[in-house]
Amino acid sequence: MGALSHSQLTDGPGRSLPKPSTEIIALNAQESALKAAGDLKGLQVNRLAQIAAWQKIDPALAAEFKPNAVIQTDLDKITGFSQDRSETFSKSDSRWRTDLQINPFFVNDGVDIDLALDGTIYIASFIMKPGAFDEIYIYKSTNNGTSFSLWGTASTPDVMTKIKLSLMDKGATKYLFITYSAENGKLQNLRFNLAGGPLSSETIANNVKLFDIDVDYEFAGAPQLYAIYTRSNDGMFSARSSDNGSGFNWGDEHYLGYGAKEIAFTYGKGSTFLSFIGYATGDHFFMSNSGYNSPTGWSDRTTLMTSAVNESKYISLRAERKPYANFRVVCFVSRKQNSPTIKFRGVAEIITPGSVQTVIITGFYPTNVLHWDSWSKKVDGNTAITASFVTEEDRIFYVTDYNNLNFANEVQISDQQVLVGPAKSAIASDANNYQIGTYVSGTSDFGLYFDSSRPTMAVNENIKNKVSFYPNPVESMLTLTSKGKINSIIITNMVGQQVKSFKPEANIAILNLSLLTSGTYFLQVDINGTIENHKFIKK
């Protein structure tokens, strides 16, 4: 796709969009109805009408609606195939301690996971082979992760830097996409038919540095992929596949007018959302798009945090599946004050039209909280989101669940003996709200690993919570129980101030919290010298 001529060395000032006319507002509403009906001919007529209407207001903006043809298929260079295979490459009896080792290769930063509507788990990773084609391996599990088979492969001529796995599995023809960025700046899209067969490929854009991508989960008749990416000068662009291209025929490229050094992107319901770290300032921003990642649908940016107050890193973004008028988006981010002695902790920004609520998820961990990833279910109106993070010093992989403003306590997924590689984690969930995760080991036992909180797995899972406490929320008396002796309990408020401390020296502790004011607090519990951190709410 052709890029607008610009120079992007700062965070803005951003691209100002004109207000839509009454005619355009009506055409946008019609587009939603046509997509719901899968009326491809009607959508093409609607697109031409939108172009004509925007031509009256802003001809340059109207020109962005012209879909571009495929830039390059690369079928003579990229080879791949998918099929259901009878042989199983990873079995439950080949688990590495309590985690299932899917492959023993040295896997780089490229790993992603997604869950099909029928519960099938797909995991993708790539392996760099110096002097040869980089290779992509796609694994499939139909038994909740008890075993995996090698389902698909691809070889590319590119040195890949990142991959994303997306499933378009609601229509009659179902697809799996692997989108990757390469060191040469290519942003490439590979499409596998879930029924099997050779892959197809398309170059989305060139001269790309960062990207994120998501799928329109709603529409079986007119499905699309949407993307945000930065070019080599760090300026951000949005784009989308055509509504009759099943993830291909990319166009509608729009320059947003901002520069970014980190981006996170997600689809909601008829709308898309963007969070980014400013290229120059390091400030943390949020933007929304009310119309299927349309060039004309972007809002002004909202500042979530300035770098003068807190440093923000490792952002991940997910939306509840709600209409744009009452959207709710959760941005997971690691934050810390600008001091070398202060650790990054996990924070969630809950963003709604006109408001932002900040929730501290991980409390005061003794280690930096890094490398967020997240996933949300493809169910209309759904509010459930699963997120993961890796701790820096001990390199352990944790997950947490979010549902309708509530966050569950984090659960350890990786074995404590397996050191998780930096920035190499991926997460999903399933229909019964069990967390599933895949990650890369950074120790001498290299490989791709899978684990789950599902209790029916063949080997007992590692559960981080050795202490139980109830009730939560609590009005007056909070009871803690543990298999080990509880040496001490420290309670801190949201800003880290200690408000109470106890020394039970027993397996059971009953705390009188009736004098605490209402709010959210953190428990720091010492059990035989092991520190656990938990969150509770005082009514």
Q: Among all chains, which residue has been given the structure tokens 């129980």?
A: 481
Helix and strand counts by DSSP (H, E) for the chain? 3, 37
**Length of the chain (residues):** 539
> Residue 132, Cβ neighbours under 10 Å: how many?
9
Are the CB atoms for 285 and 312 separated by under 8 Å? no
- 281 Ramachandran zone, left/alpha/beta (phi>0; psi -120 to 50): alpha
Q: What is the pLDDT of residue 485?
A: 87
Q: What is the pLDDT of residue 92?
A: 45
Q: Which helix (H) or strand (E) holds 60?
A: helix 59-63
Q: What is the pLDDT of residue 213?
A: 97
Contacts of 306 (CB under 8 A, 6+ apart): 281, 283, 284
d(CA 51, CA 237): 19
Q: What is the pLDDT of residue 172?
A: 85
3-class state of residue 341 by DSSP? coil
User: Which residue type does 4 have?
Assistant: L
In the chain, % helix, strand, coil (3-state, to 5) comes to 10, 50, 45
- 139 burial (CB, 10 Å; 0-12 / 13-18 / 19+) is buried
DSSP state of 456: T
Are the CB atoms for 9 and 259 separated by under 8 Å? yes
d(CA 221, CA 25): 23
Q: Which residues pair with 267 in a beta bridge?
A: 272
Q: Among all chains, which residue has been given the structure tokens 């933007």?
A: 287
d(CA 199, CA 151): 12
For residue 466, give the nearest of 522, 423, 409 by alpha carbon.
Answer: 409
For residue 502, give the nearest of 519, 481, 526 by alpha carbon.
Answer: 526
**φ, ψ for residue 152, nearest 5 deg:** -145, 155
User: Which residue type does 120 have?
Assistant: T
Q: Which helix (H) or strand (E) holds 340?
A: none
Triad 411, 417, 422: Cα angle to 5°: 75
For residue 366, give the nearest of 481, 537, 508, 529 by alpha carbon.
Answer: 529
For residue 27, give the nearest of 7, 45, 9 by alpha carbon.
Answer: 45
Q: Among all chains, which residue has been given the structure tokens 């390199």?
A: 395
User: What would the two tokens of residue 337 be?
Assistant: 């004050």
User: Which residue type does 208 have?
Assistant: V
Strand order across the 149-156 sheet: 111-115, 121-127, 134-141, 149-156, 79-82, 197-198
d(CA 504, CA 200): 63
pTM, to two decimals = 0.81
Q: What is the pLDDT of residue 445?
A: 64
> Residue 62, Cβ neighbours under 10 Å: how many?
18
d(CA 228, CA 214): 9
Q: Which residues pair with 99 in a beta bridge?
A: 96
User: Is the peptide bond between 471 and the residue preceding it cis, with omega within 30 degrees of 0?
Assistant: yes
Triad 507, 512, 515: Cα angle to 5°: 155
User: What would the two tokens of residue 322 be?
Assistant: 């709600």
Contacts of 203 (CB under 8 A, 6+ apart): 70, 71, 72, 74, 186, 187, 188, 189
Q: What is the pLDDT of residue 462?
A: 32
d(CA 222, CA 42): 11
User: Which residue type does 468 have?
Assistant: S
Are the CB atoms for 370 and 409 separated by under 8 Å? no
For residue 311, give the nearest of 287, 345, 286, 288 by alpha carbon.
Answer: 345
Contacts of 1 (CB under 8 A, 6+ apart): 68, 71, 204, 205, 239, 250, 251, 253
Q: What is the pLDDT of residue 108?
A: 64
Q: Which residues pair with 304 in a beta bridge?
A: none
Triad 172, 173, 174: Cα angle to 5°: 110
Instruction: Per-residue pLDDT tens, the chain, 539 aa: give them.
Output: 434 334 444 677 788 889 999 999 999 999 989 988 889 899 989 999 999 999 999 998 999 987 655 555 665 567 777 777 655 555 444 456 577 888 777 676 678 999 998 889 999 988 876 666 788 889 998 888 878 888 988 888 888 889 999 999 988 889 999 999 999 999 999 999 999 888 999 999 999 999 999 999 988 888 999 999 999 878 999 999 998 889 999 999 999 999 999 999 999 999 999 999 999 999 999 999 999 999 999 999 999 999 999 999 999 999 999 999 999 999 999 999 988 888 999 999 999 998 999 999 887 677 899 889 999 988 888 999 999 998 888 788 888 999 999 898 888 888 777 778 765 678 988 767 678 888 887 665 677 888 887 653 333 333 344 677 888 888 888 988 887 889 999 998 866 678 999 999 888 888 999 899 988 888 888 888 777 777 788 88
Are the CB atoms for 263 and 230 separated by under 8 Å? yes
d(CA 429, CA 414): 15
For residue 294, give the nearest of 490, 53, 510, 41 by alpha carbon.
Answer: 53
